[in-house]
Amino acid sequence: MRRPFRYLFLALLACTIVVIDQATKLSIMQAMRLDESIPIIPNLFSLTYIRNPGAAFGLLAGSSNAFRMVFFGVTSLFALALLGTILFRLPEKDWMGQLSVAGILGGAIGNLIDRLQYGEVIDFLDVYVDSYHWPAFNVADSAISVGVVFLIIHFAFEKKDVPLLPHELPPAS
């Protein structure tokens, strides 16, 4: 497949994730009050509108607004640059790697938009068993998580031609 089409397709995937992420967050903000929870599957899954000022699992949530904005701004830009570099350096035939990175990129952009717009991330997917809750998350978080899992699996099972060490080379005839 030609490079321009490939990059267009990957950009479309990332943009689709961003659009779905932002549309679902907007819908939740319009339809629910902050901290409101609507059970969907009792004792398992609810829609719960919360705002997370911190990182994953609420890390750094207690830090000052200024610190969080600078920290998350710098780390987000670094992460986006790193993901873009990885995406462009992956071999053209490595579709699994490219799709995974595009998904991570779309999720990272979706959460960055929240941070720039609201100073925090909108979360609403609440998975739990009785009173044991997984931290609430959103579509962007899901795309990042799925992309990372697929990337790990992909790299773990990727077959590479590893050059032989000098002592493993067959004797010269």
Active site residue 21: no
* In-domain check, residue 39: yes
List pLDDT tens digits, range 132-143.
Answer: 989 999 999 999
* In-domain check, residue 167: no
Active site residue 141: yes
* In-domain check, residue 169: no
CB distance 10 to 98 below 8 Å: yes
Query: Residue 40: its pLDDT value, please?
Result: 96
pLDDT at 75 over 90: no
Identify the band that residue 157 occupies on the pLDDT scale cut at 50, 70 and 90.
confident
Q: Work out the average pLDDT over 13-31.
A: 98
What's this model's pTM, rounded to 2 decimal places?
A: 0.82
Q: Report the chain's mean pLDDT, rounded to a whole number.
A: 87
Query: Residue 58: its pLDDT value, please?
Result: 59
Provide the CA 14 distance to its chain's centre, in angstroms. 10
Catalytic residue among 94, 123, 126, 161: 123
Long-range contacts from 50-55, C-beta under 8 angstroms, 24+ separation: 50/122, 50/123, 50/124, 50/136, 51/118, 51/120, 51/121, 51/122, 51/123, 52/120, 52/121, 52/122, 52/123, 52/136, 53/119, 53/120, 53/121
* In-domain check, residue 171: no
Count of domains for the chain: 1
Catalytic residue among 21, 114, 126, 141: 141
* In-domain check, residue 165: no
Q: Work out the average pLDDT over 36-43.
A: 95
d(CA 173, CA 157): 35
Choose the weakest-confidence range: 48-57, 62-71, 153-162: 62-71
* In-domain check, residue 36: yes
Identify the band that residue 91 occupies on the pLDDT scale cut at 50, 70 and 90.
confident
State phi, psi for 46 to the nearest 5 degrees: -135, 160
Query: Residue 112: its pLDDT value, please?
Result: 92
Burial class (CB in 10 A: 0-12, 13-18, 19+), 115: middle
Provide the CA 164 distance to its chain's centre, in angstroms. 37
Residue 38's DSSP bridge partners are 47
Q: Which domain holds residue 47?
A: 3-156
Query: Residue 73: its pLDDT value, please?
Result: 76
Q: Work out the average pLDDT over 104-108.
A: 95
List pLDDT tens digits, range 162-173.
Answer: 565 666 667 766
